A = this chain, B = another copy of it.
C-alpha cells in the first residue's frame, strides 16, 4: 500500500539468553552454553511500524528475522493484482525463510501493528550452525515446521468449507495465544476481515457471515476484532464432522 519505508535500526544489541521468548523462538531447547553463543549471532533489533514492510518480494535476501514484539502477515502477489496472504506470524516466530532458495525474498512481510524483530544475518547463521549442533538442528526444525504448517493450510484451502476454515483459524490463533501466555478463550485479532479472508481463500463478506453464524450458535462472541471463544468443543466438532466439504 505504502511506498518504501524508513527503516529504524535500534542500537540495542539483542540477547537471546536474556529474552523471555526463548521457548518459542529459534533457541528453543538449546543448552545455556550454546545460547550464549547465539548472542553473537543476532544482530541489531529493528522496529517496524504498522503497515510498513520488513521486506518485500524481490528484495535481496540477507537475513532472517525473529519477531520480538508485535505481529506480521506475509503475502504473495500475482502480476494481475491478485494477492494472497500466506501466513500470520506472532512473537517468537521466524520470518524470511522463503528468501534462502533464490537469494531473493519471494513474498512481502508487513507489520500488523508496531513491531520489533531481531535481525539474524543469514551468512553468520550458516557459519555458526556449523559449529553449534543445537543451533543447526533447531534451525532445521523451524524450516520443517513451516513446511508442515503450509501443508495444513493447503489441506484447509483444498478441502474445507468456509465455516470449517474459520473454525480452524480461530482454534489455531487460540492455541498460539495460549503458547504465549495469553488467554485461550479471549483475544484480539490484529488483522482485518479482508486479510483473514485472503488467508482462508474466502471473501471478506463470507468471513463476516461465518463470524455472525458462530455468534448465533453461541460458539464465540465477536466484537469487531475482539474474540471470545465460548465453546471450543463446538468449534472442534465443526472440523471433524465431515460436513460434505468440497
A50 within 8 A of B: no
Contact A203 B246 (CB under 8 A): yes
B154 lies within 8 A of A86 (CB): yes
Q: Which residue of B lies closest to A139 (CB)?
A: B140
State which residues 122-180 of A face B: CB under 8 Å.
126, 129-131, 133, 136-137, 140-148, 150-155, 157-159
* CB–CB B79/A240 < 8 A: yes
Q: Is the CB of A148 within 8 A of B82?
A: no
Instruction: Verify B100–A158 contact, CB threshold 8 A.
Output: no
Checking B150, B200, B245 against A147 with a beta-carbon cut-off of 8 angstroms, the contacting residue is B150
A155-B84 in contact given A126-B140, A147-B150 (Cβ < 8 Å)? yes
Q: A96 to chain B: closest CB distance in Å? A: 10
Contact-size category for A = 35 or more
**Stretch binding the partner chain, chosen from A8-16, A101-109, A184-192, A217-225:** A101-109
Indicate how many identical chains form the complex.
Answer: 2
A146 and chain B: residue at smallest CB distance: B147
Known: A99-B144, A130-B130, A140-B126. Is A86-B151 also a contact (CB below 8 A)?
yes
Decide: A84 and B136 in contact? CB cutoff 8 A: no
List the B side residues contacting A143 at CB < 8 Å. Answer: 97, 100, 140, 143-144, 147
Q: How far is the CA of A133 from the CA of B136 in the complex (A)?
A: 12
Nearest Cβ in chain B — how far from A167, in angstroms? 13
Q: Are B100 and A141 in contact (CB under 8 A)?
A: yes
Contact A154 B153 (CB under 8 A): yes
In the docked arrangement, what's the CA distance between A131 and B151, Å? 31
22 contacts between A and B (CB under 8 A): A76-B154, A80-B240, A80-B242, A83-B159, A86-B154, A97-B143, A101-B142, A101-B145, A101-B147, A101-B148, A106-B148, A107-B151, A126-B137, A143-B144, A143-B147, A147-B147, A150-B154, A153-B154, A154-B157, A158-B199, A158-B200, A201-B246
